[in-house]
């Protein structure tokens, strides 16, 4: 199991502080993926002028996913640190 998947699985149950932010980020990721798929369909049908737009959406998606992974990693670290502080 990847650490990213483990963080996503654990985050809703243990962390409440940043709960809304990853969901908002996930909706942005979903919108970019949907738009990217539409652009890819246009390119496949011959609209090659849209290639720079596809490149931009790929870049934006990579940035959003990296941000999401960092937020989830922070949640995981915070959840690990909290029981250690209480002990």
The pLDDT tens digits of the residues spanning 17-56 come to 555 555 688 999 999 999 999 999 999 999 999 999 999 9
Residue 5: inside a domain = no
- CA angle 24-16-67, nearest 5°? 40
Q: What is the mean pLDDT of residues 74-84?
A: 84
How large a percentage of the chain has pLDDT more than 70?
A: 68
- The total domain count for the chain is 1
Domain with 80, as residue range(s), is 20-86
Q: What is the mean pLDDT of residues 3-19?
A: 51
pTM of full prediction above 0.85: no
Residue 79: inside a domain = yes
Spatial distance between the Cα atoms of 41 and 78, rounded to a whole number of angstroms: 41
Residue 6: inside a domain = no
């Amino acid at each position: 199991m990847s650490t990213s998947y483990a963080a996503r699985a654990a985050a809703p149950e243990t962390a409440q502080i940043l709960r809304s932010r990853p969901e908002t980020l996930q909706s942005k990721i979903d919108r970019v993926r949907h738009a990217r798929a539409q652009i890819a369909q246009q390119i496949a049908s011959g609209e090659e002028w849209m290639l720079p737009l596809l490149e931009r959406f790929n870049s934006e998606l990579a940035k959003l996913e990296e941000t999401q992974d960092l937020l989830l990693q922070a949640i995981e670290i915070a959840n690990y640190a909290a029981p250690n502080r209480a002990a």
